[in-house]
Amino acid sequence: MIYVASFEVAFGGLDLLTVPDMYSQDSAFFVMVDPRKSALPESLIQVADLAFCGAFGVSLAIFGVQFAYRYFVLTGHSFLATKKHRNFIIWLGSPLLFASVWTFSCATFMGRNDFVDQVLREDVLPYKLDNLEIDRLAFVGVIFFPKLENSTKTTINLDSFYAMGICSVVLSSTEFVMFFFAIKTYLATKRFMAQASGSAKLKRLQWQLFYATVSQSCIPIFFMQIPITAIYISTFLNSSSQIFGQIQTITVSFYLASDALPTIFIIKPYRETILNYFRCIKIEITFVWPKKRKGDTTGGTTSNIQAKVAQVESL
């Protein structure tokens, strides 16, 4: 959980520093960083854009690895569940392996070429980036069926197909690992609960940990996996729209803001700690109503003031 939280904090910080913008139209999709919006030096924004894409790719892998770790712990696997430096490298390095493959694909096949430059100059820079110089823009992207220059005919950009193939393998692999070990973990948890002689509190905690992990995994599926899949399919069919890129830009922020909530509210010790914190905050509002005296029509406070003013005038 510390590893997941640290990753999401780093991902959120990178998103805040780069302020990426996603553009989708017809068969093109770009993840762009405008140097005028980014807080990073202009020389680092291309590297930051690649790192952002790599973090995007690892967002599902990290939960698949978490399910796998919980399964091996529950089944008492002696090789992978022991506290050894080798196992730390395996468990913490596995998501980074997926991120490296994703980043390699982006750097190799989603960079600049004649087709990409033409789309950026004609469709993106004039309308979205106020004619920013193309050499200053950091981006990665695909365009499957670009139009030939000075022609209405289209061609096939093989680099984009290579990129989509690699990214699709990464996505499908992370999904397979996550669903496979999620089911295995569920069955192992049921067996562990049936055989365990521990307290009801321990059994409750084990189920809460499982449900929290499932909920955390559903959030990137809905906010990242489904939108990016819709973008890939629509661009492959040469029928994408700018709304897809805008939705994906927003949902990434939703994922980063909401992914910790299931752990906080499902696991009882965390939930009680948060609620007790808010219970300690007391806001006291006291209403003081002045008493009226006999003969006063405006209330005691006003009458007292008027009496003191009369005494001063008489002096």
Q: How far apart are CA 140 and CA 132, in angstroms?
A: 16
- Which residue shows structure tokens 């980014």? 38
Sign, CA torsion 23/24/26/28: positive
CA 192 centroid distance within chain: 32
DSSP letter string, 219-251:
HHIIIIIHHHHHHHHHHHTT-B-HHHHHHHHHH
Q: Domain segments of the chain: what residues? A: 1-260
Q: What is the pLDDT of residues 161-191, one digit of tens each?
A: 998 888 888 888 888 888 888 888 888 888 8
Token pair for residue 75?
């089944």
Backbone angles phi, psi at 29, to 5 degrees: -145, 125
Amino acid at the residue 4: V
pLDDT tens for the chain, residues 1 to 315: 777 888 888 888 888 899 898 999 889 999 999 898 888 998 899 999 999 888 887 777 887 888 888 888 777 776 666 667 777 788 888 888 888 888 898 888 988 888 888 888 888 888 778 878 888 888 898 899 888 776 677 888 889 899 888 888 888 888 888 888 888 888 888 887 777 666 777 777 778 888 888 887 788 888 888 888 888 889 988 888 889 888 888 888 888 888 778 777 877 777 788 888 777 766 555 555 655 555 555 554 444 444 444 444 444
Which of 50, 69, 47 minimizes the C-alpha distance to 3?
69
Token pair for residue 207?
């189920």
**What is the reported pTM?**
0.76
The class (CATH top level) of 1-260 is mainly alpha
What is the rounded (10 degree) CA torsion for 292, 296, 298, 304?
A: -80
* CB 205, CB 189: distance < 8 Å: no
Q: What is the DSSP letter of 136?
A: G
- Which residue shows structure tokens 């193939």? 165
